[in-house]
Amino acid sequence: MRVLGVDPGLTRCGIGVVDIAPNRTATMVAVDVVGSPAGMELPQRLLVISEAIESWLERYQPQVLAVERVFSQTNVSTVMGVAQVSGIVIAAAARRGISVALHTPSEVKAAVTGSGRADKAAVTKMVTKILRLEQEPKPADAADALALAITHAWRSGPNSSAAAGGQLTPARKLWLEAEAKAKKNSERSSKQQWR
């Protein structure tokens, strides 16, 4: 499954593409942050982001677009721009028949780190581990876009929270699995270094 995650914003809009294998391994395909300077006129700013989204949808042909669900409570000063960008992004996907999934920030944090209250640094760290990246994706908007894509794939797959059993909360289980996998990979890469 290929998911395009978008962390909407006018100044910085994170876009990330992640492929998820049937065994749940997540692989980053591409990531970028597009945006526009605050001094630019609003229509031009929205156009820049609209064109970027269209080109990413065209280029990467995702099956799903995962975007942050925006709340009016959070960050009043920037929320209008965030909502305008999210509207553009959602409509662009709908126009192409790509299904759209909305996830709250807490859902993303819980899916990726095991805690709905994790901070940005923890999300970035886990995204880096889960995707086996050599460097942390920066800025945070890039990591958030990737986290959204991972969240969607993990939550909606056959092994998703709804399907998972056991005593561990699904998010916690994912976290432990991801951490174990990350550790294994890091050991493997250490071994490779010494081979």
Known binding residues for Mg(2+) are 7, 68, 141
> Cβ contacts of residue 22 below 8 Å, gap of 6+?
none
Closer to a copy of itself at the Cβ: 44 or 189?
44
Q: Are strands 64-68 and 2-7 parallel, antiparallel or unpaired?
A: parallel
Q: Looking at 28, 52, 93, 118, which residue binds a copy of itself (CB under 8 A)?
A: 93
The verdict on 57 binding a copy of itself (CB under 8 A) reads no
Phi and psi (nearest 5°) for 33? -125, 120
User: How far is the C-alpha of 113 from the C-alpha of 126, rounded, in Å?
Assistant: 6
For the question of residue 19 being annotated catalytic, the response is: no
The verdict on 70 binding a copy of itself (CB under 8 A) reads yes
HSE-CB at 73 with a 13 A cutoff on CA atoms is: 3
For the question of residue 179 being annotated catalytic, the response is: no
Crossing angle (nearest 10°) for helices 120-130 and 170-194: 60
CB of 101 to a copy of itself, least distance (A): 9
**Interacting residues toward a copy of itself by CB under 8 A:** 42-44, 46-47, 49-51, 70-73, 76-77, 79-80, 83-88, 90-91, 93-95, 99-100, 102
Catalytic residues: 7, 68, 141
